[in-house]
Amino acid sequence: MNAKQLFGMAVTICLASATFTAQAGSKDTKEAKKLDAKTVAIIKRDFRDKGIAKADRVNQDELQAACSKYLDVLPDNLKAKLEAEQAGQMKWPADGKYMGDWKAGEKLAQSGKGMTWKDKPEDPAGGNCYNCHQLSATEIAYGTIGPSLRNYGNKKGMKEEVQRIVYGHIYNAKAYNACANMPRFGHMGILSEAQMKDLVALLLDPESPVNAK
């Protein structure tokens, strides 16, 4: 898990914990808000800039703050509003193509490198996909936070509409599910357009190990 994910997880866990405690232990809204504010202050106090890892990563945007406040279960109208806003900020490939090189995508998916204070800004970040998903039958270790992606292309096919949806989820999964655990790889500038295309190819190309039978 890279530094950006760790920072985001730390903020989400702390704020969610504070909100839950406040709601469970007190009906006083003012006290709940004070507790939340204190939690935020502690987080901001204890994080420091180091290399490319800047302390501003703990600053939540409107969507992140809403998911923390509602413990990832948003009111329907707010969920729809936030998802529409995220979708409106999606940047699609200028050439209209969504598929890259699955071999490059495989290397990218198995790399957790990047975004830490030790990394240089010019060094490309990895996709870190293996940390949350199973990708192929040959993997001996993988995460289960996200669903298995084995045989994804065999199940979904390679039509352009499928390619677009996969690219969109990699670019910003929160445009489809506001409180999704998946990082906003394109929206947050973690991966380049070319890298995201390579990941689309990894999932959909019939020659990819993801789709090996």
CATH number at residue 167: 1.10.760.10
Within a domain: 81: no
Split into its structural domains, the chain has a count of: 2
CA distance 132 to 146: 5
Give the model's pLDDT for residue 33. 84
Instruction: Quote the distance between the C-alpha of residue 73 and its chain's center.
Output: 17
Give the model's pLDDT for residue 188. 96
Out of 73, 89, 115, pick the residue that ends a domain. Answer: 73
Q: 10 Å Cβ neighbour count for 23?
A: 13
- pTM for this entry: 0.83
Within a domain: 78: no
Tens digit of pLDDT for each residue in 168-210?
999 999 999 999 999 999 999 999 999 999 999 999 999 999 9
For residues 201 and 153, state if they share a domain. yes
For residues 127 and 207, state if they share a domain. yes
For residues 138 and 183, state if they share a domain. yes
Within a domain: 55: yes
Give the model's pLDDT for residue 1. 45
For residues 35 and 132, state if they share a domain. no
Out of 27, 57, 73, pick the residue that ends a domain. Answer: 73
For residues 115 and 33, state if they share a domain. no
Give the model's pLDDT for residue 19. 52
For residues 141 and 178, state if they share a domain. yes
Give the model's pLDDT for residue 58. 87
Which domain does 35 fall in, by range?
Answer: 3-73
For residues 109 and 64, state if they share a domain. no
For residues 153 and 198, state if they share a domain. yes
For residues 200 and 124, state if they share a domain. yes
For residues 134 and 183, state if they share a domain. yes
Give the model's pLDDT for residue 108. 97
Cβ contacts of residue 149 below 8 Å, gap of 6+? 129, 133, 134, 135, 203, 210
For residues 28 and 116, state if they share a domain. no
Positions of the chain with pLDDT lower than 50, given as ranges: 1-7, 9, 13, 18, 21-26
